[in-house]
Amino acid sequence: MSSLVALGPVTLQWEVFAVTSAASSGEPADLAMSRYAEGDDAAFSIVHRAVADRLRAFLMRMARSPSLADDLLQETFLRIHRARGSFDVGGRVMPWCYAIARNVYIDYVRQRSVRKERPAVNDPEEGELERPAGPESDGEQVTIAAELAARVERTLASLPPNQREAFVLIRYEGLSVADAAAIVGATEGAVKLRAFHAYEALRAALGDEAPKKRGAT
Protein backbone atom coordinates (compact mmCIF):
# COMPACT_ATOMS: atom_id res chain seq x y z
CA MET A 1 0.00 0.00 0.00
CA SER A 2 2.84 2.34 0.87
CA SER A 3 4.36 1.78 -2.55
CA LEU A 4 1.03 2.79 -4.10
CA VAL A 5 1.11 6.12 -2.27
CA ALA A 6 4.75 6.70 -3.06
CA LEU A 7 4.57 5.78 -6.71
CA GLY A 8 1.05 7.09 -7.43
CA PRO A 9 1.05 7.85 -11.18
CA VAL A 10 3.66 5.23 -12.00
CA THR A 11 1.63 2.53 -10.28
CA LEU A 12 -1.53 3.70 -12.00
CA GLN A 13 0.13 3.46 -15.41
CA TRP A 14 1.36 -0.04 -14.61
CA GLU A 15 -2.14 -1.09 -13.52
CA VAL A 16 -3.66 0.20 -16.77
CA PHE A 17 -0.99 -1.63 -18.77
CA ALA A 18 -1.50 -4.81 -16.77
CA VAL A 19 -5.28 -4.77 -17.18
CA THR A 20 -4.95 -4.24 -20.93
CA SER A 21 -2.42 -7.02 -21.21
CA ALA A 22 -4.34 -9.30 -18.89
CA ALA A 23 -7.23 -9.38 -21.32
CA SER A 24 -5.00 -10.28 -24.24
CA SER A 25 -2.22 -12.59 -23.02
CA GLY A 26 -3.24 -13.60 -19.52
CA GLU A 27 0.33 -13.72 -18.26
CA PRO A 28 0.15 -10.49 -16.23
CA ALA A 29 -2.96 -11.87 -14.55
CA ASP A 30 -0.85 -14.80 -13.37
CA LEU A 31 1.73 -12.37 -12.03
CA ALA A 32 -1.00 -10.25 -10.45
CA MET A 33 -2.43 -13.30 -8.67
CA SER A 34 1.05 -14.15 -7.50
CA ARG A 35 1.39 -10.64 -6.08
CA TYR A 36 -2.02 -10.91 -4.45
CA ALA A 37 -1.00 -14.25 -2.94
CA GLU A 38 1.93 -12.44 -1.36
CA GLY A 39 -0.34 -9.85 0.18
CA ASP A 40 -0.47 -7.08 -2.44
CA ASP A 41 -4.21 -6.34 -2.20
CA ALA A 42 -4.13 -3.83 -5.06
CA ALA A 43 -3.27 -6.62 -7.52
CA PHE A 44 -6.64 -8.27 -6.99
CA SER A 45 -8.49 -5.85 -9.25
CA ILE A 46 -6.31 -7.03 -12.17
CA VAL A 47 -7.11 -10.64 -11.37
CA HIS A 48 -10.80 -9.86 -11.09
CA ARG A 49 -10.93 -8.15 -14.47
CA ALA A 50 -9.04 -10.98 -16.11
CA VAL A 51 -11.10 -13.87 -14.76
CA ALA A 52 -14.58 -12.65 -13.78
CA ASP A 53 -16.25 -12.87 -17.19
CA ARG A 54 -14.82 -16.27 -18.03
CA LEU A 55 -15.76 -17.68 -14.64
CA ARG A 56 -19.29 -16.30 -14.99
CA ALA A 57 -19.64 -17.86 -18.43
CA PHE A 58 -18.40 -21.20 -17.07
CA LEU A 59 -20.83 -21.06 -14.15
CA MET A 60 -23.66 -20.06 -16.50
CA ARG A 61 -22.96 -23.11 -18.64
CA MET A 62 -22.90 -25.37 -15.61
CA ALA A 63 -25.78 -23.85 -13.64
CA ARG A 64 -27.95 -22.65 -16.57
CA SER A 65 -29.25 -19.69 -14.61
CA PRO A 66 -27.87 -16.13 -14.69
CA SER A 67 -28.86 -15.31 -11.12
CA LEU A 68 -27.52 -18.59 -9.78
CA ALA A 69 -24.30 -18.10 -11.76
CA ASP A 70 -23.90 -14.66 -10.16
CA ASP A 71 -24.38 -16.13 -6.68
CA LEU A 72 -21.88 -18.89 -7.40
CA LEU A 73 -19.45 -16.35 -8.84
CA GLN A 74 -19.58 -14.37 -5.60
CA GLU A 75 -18.88 -17.51 -3.62
CA THR A 76 -16.03 -18.35 -6.00
CA PHE A 77 -14.39 -14.99 -5.39
CA LEU A 78 -14.80 -15.39 -1.64
CA ARG A 79 -12.96 -18.71 -1.88
CA ILE A 80 -10.29 -17.12 -4.09
CA HIS A 81 -9.69 -14.57 -1.32
CA ARG A 82 -9.55 -17.26 1.33
CA ALA A 83 -7.26 -19.55 -0.67
CA ARG A 84 -4.89 -16.95 -2.10
CA GLY A 85 -1.99 -18.35 -0.06
CA SER A 86 -2.27 -21.67 -1.91
CA PHE A 87 -1.55 -20.06 -5.29
CA ASP A 88 1.96 -21.24 -6.08
CA VAL A 89 4.78 -19.33 -7.73
CA GLY A 90 4.57 -19.97 -11.48
CA GLY A 91 0.95 -21.13 -11.24
CA ARG A 92 -1.66 -20.16 -13.84
CA VAL A 93 -4.55 -18.20 -12.51
CA MET A 94 -7.24 -19.34 -14.94
CA PRO A 95 -7.08 -23.11 -14.27
CA TRP A 96 -6.71 -22.34 -10.55
CA CYS A 97 -9.88 -20.21 -10.61
CA TYR A 98 -11.77 -22.75 -12.74
CA ALA A 99 -10.94 -25.43 -10.16
CA ILE A 100 -12.36 -23.27 -7.39
CA ALA A 101 -15.47 -22.37 -9.41
CA ARG A 102 -16.02 -26.04 -10.20
CA ASN A 103 -15.85 -26.91 -6.49
CA VAL A 104 -18.33 -24.15 -5.71
CA TYR A 105 -20.75 -25.56 -8.29
CA ILE A 106 -20.29 -29.15 -7.02
CA ASP A 107 -20.91 -28.02 -3.44
CA TYR A 108 -24.06 -26.26 -4.60
CA VAL A 109 -25.32 -29.40 -6.39
CA ARG A 110 -24.57 -31.54 -3.33
CA GLN A 111 -26.35 -29.17 -0.99
CA ARG A 112 -29.32 -29.10 -3.33
CA SER A 113 -29.48 -32.88 -3.51
CA VAL A 114 -29.19 -33.16 0.29
CA ARG A 115 -32.13 -30.78 0.63
CA LYS A 116 -33.83 -32.74 -2.18
CA GLU A 117 -34.48 -29.49 -4.03
CA ARG A 118 -35.24 -29.44 -7.73
CA PRO A 119 -34.87 -26.59 -10.13
CA ALA A 120 -38.17 -24.76 -10.34
CA VAL A 121 -39.69 -25.59 -13.72
CA ASN A 122 -41.61 -22.33 -13.87
CA ASP A 123 -38.63 -20.25 -12.91
CA PRO A 124 -37.50 -18.62 -16.14
CA GLU A 125 -34.03 -18.15 -14.65
CA GLU A 126 -33.57 -21.86 -13.93
CA GLY A 127 -34.90 -23.21 -17.17
CA GLU A 128 -33.69 -22.62 -20.68
CA LEU A 129 -31.75 -19.45 -21.22
CA GLU A 130 -33.62 -16.68 -22.94
CA ARG A 131 -32.15 -15.81 -26.32
CA PRO A 132 -32.78 -12.29 -27.51
CA ALA A 133 -32.22 -11.72 -31.20
CA GLY A 134 -29.46 -9.31 -32.08
CA PRO A 135 -30.14 -6.22 -34.18
CA GLU A 136 -28.29 -7.62 -37.19
CA SER A 137 -29.93 -11.03 -37.06
CA ASP A 138 -31.67 -12.74 -39.94
CA GLY A 139 -35.04 -14.07 -38.70
CA GLU A 140 -34.89 -17.63 -40.02
CA GLN A 141 -31.25 -18.14 -39.14
CA VAL A 142 -31.82 -16.86 -35.65
CA THR A 143 -34.73 -19.25 -35.18
CA ILE A 144 -32.68 -22.22 -36.38
CA ALA A 145 -29.68 -21.23 -34.27
CA ALA A 146 -31.89 -20.71 -31.23
CA GLU A 147 -33.51 -24.11 -31.73
CA LEU A 148 -30.12 -25.81 -32.05
CA ALA A 149 -28.78 -23.98 -29.01
CA ALA A 150 -31.84 -24.98 -27.00
CA ARG A 151 -31.35 -28.60 -28.01
CA VAL A 152 -27.68 -28.46 -27.03
CA GLU A 153 -28.60 -26.92 -23.72
CA ARG A 154 -31.27 -29.52 -22.96
CA THR A 155 -28.86 -32.33 -23.82
CA LEU A 156 -26.07 -30.81 -21.73
CA ALA A 157 -28.47 -30.47 -18.81
CA SER A 158 -29.40 -34.14 -19.09
CA LEU A 159 -25.77 -35.29 -18.97
CA PRO A 160 -24.04 -36.40 -15.77
CA PRO A 161 -22.16 -33.43 -14.26
CA ASN A 162 -18.74 -34.98 -14.88
CA GLN A 163 -19.46 -35.35 -18.62
CA ARG A 164 -20.93 -31.88 -18.82
CA GLU A 165 -17.97 -30.23 -17.09
CA ALA A 166 -15.47 -32.10 -19.27
CA PHE A 167 -17.27 -30.98 -22.43
CA VAL A 168 -17.76 -27.39 -21.24
CA LEU A 169 -14.14 -26.98 -20.16
CA ILE A 170 -12.71 -28.35 -23.41
CA ARG A 171 -15.22 -27.18 -26.01
CA TYR A 172 -16.51 -23.89 -24.64
CA GLU A 173 -13.77 -22.71 -22.27
CA GLY A 174 -11.08 -23.78 -24.72
CA LEU A 175 -8.87 -25.63 -22.24
CA SER A 176 -6.51 -28.40 -23.22
CA VAL A 177 -7.36 -31.92 -22.09
CA ALA A 178 -4.38 -31.82 -19.71
CA ASP A 179 -5.60 -28.60 -18.05
CA ALA A 180 -9.16 -29.89 -17.81
CA ALA A 181 -7.88 -33.14 -16.27
CA ALA A 182 -5.86 -31.20 -13.68
CA ILE A 183 -8.90 -29.09 -12.80
CA VAL A 184 -11.30 -31.99 -12.32
CA GLY A 185 -8.65 -34.21 -10.69
CA ALA A 186 -8.91 -37.06 -13.18
CA THR A 187 -6.63 -38.65 -15.74
CA GLU A 188 -6.49 -37.21 -19.25
CA GLY A 189 -7.95 -40.44 -20.59
CA ALA A 190 -10.93 -40.22 -18.26
CA VAL A 191 -11.61 -36.60 -19.21
CA LYS A 192 -11.35 -37.40 -22.92
CA LEU A 193 -13.80 -40.26 -22.46
CA ARG A 194 -16.27 -38.05 -20.59
CA ALA A 195 -16.04 -35.39 -23.28
CA PHE A 196 -16.52 -38.07 -25.92
CA HIS A 197 -19.69 -39.38 -24.24
CA ALA A 198 -21.04 -35.82 -24.07
CA TYR A 199 -20.13 -35.29 -27.72
CA GLU A 200 -21.91 -38.52 -28.71
CA ALA A 201 -25.04 -37.47 -26.83
CA LEU A 202 -24.98 -34.03 -28.44
CA ARG A 203 -24.43 -35.46 -31.90
CA ALA A 204 -27.36 -37.80 -31.38
CA ALA A 205 -29.55 -34.95 -30.16
CA LEU A 206 -28.63 -32.67 -33.04
CA GLY A 207 -28.93 -35.43 -35.63
CA ASP A 208 -28.54 -34.23 -39.21
CA GLU A 209 -28.82 -30.62 -38.14
CA ALA A 210 -25.44 -30.69 -36.43
CA PRO A 211 -23.40 -27.90 -37.95
CA LYS A 212 -20.33 -28.97 -39.86
CA LYS A 213 -16.99 -27.25 -39.64
CA ARG A 214 -14.19 -28.24 -41.95
CA GLY A 215 -10.98 -29.15 -40.16
CA ALA A 216 -12.55 -28.96 -36.74
CA THR A 217 -10.73 -30.75 -33.94
Partner 1 sequence: MSQVDLPDFSAIPDPLAAHGSAQTPATSVAPAPPREAVGPTRSAVIRRRLAAVALGFGWLFLVQVVIGLRSGVPMWIMALHAGVPTALGAVALYLALRPGKVGVGPSARSVITFGVIGAATFSVAALATPCATQTMGYVEGSLLCGDITVLIAIVPLAAIAWAQRGTFVAGAGFRSALLGASVGFAAAGMQALHCIESDRYHVLFGHGWPVIALGLAAYLLLRKKLAVS
Contact assessment for residue 195 and residue 171, using Cβ atoms and an 8 Å cutoff: yes
Out of 31, 146, 162, 197, point to the residue binding partner 1 (CB under 8 A): 146
Q: Minimum distance from CB of 203 to partner 1 (Å)?
A: 8
Out of 9, 132, 135, 207, point to the residue binding partner 1 (CB under 8 A): 132
Out of 116, 174, 207, 208, point to the residue binding partner 1 (CB under 8 A): 174
- For residue 215, the tally of other CB atoms under 10 A from its CB is 4
Q: Which is it for the CA torsion 205, 210, 213, 215, positive or negative?
A: positive
Out of 88, 109, 112, 160, point to the residue binding partner 1 (CB under 8 A): 88
Q: Minimum distance from CB of 128 to partner 1 (Å)?
A: 8
Out of 16, 23, 109, 178, point to the residue binding partner 1 (CB under 8 A): 178
Q: Check binding of 171 to partner 1 (CB under 8 A).
A: yes
Sole window of 3-11, 21-29, 115-123, 129-137 interacting with partner 1 (rule: CB under 8 A): 129-137
Q: Check binding of 153 to partner 1 (CB under 8 A).
A: yes
Q: Which is it for the CA torsion 171, 174, 177, 179, positive or negative?
A: negative
Q: Residues 58 to 77: which contact partner 1 by CB under 8 A?
A: 60-61, 66, 70, 73-74, 77
Q: Check binding of 197 to partner 1 (CB under 8 A).
A: no
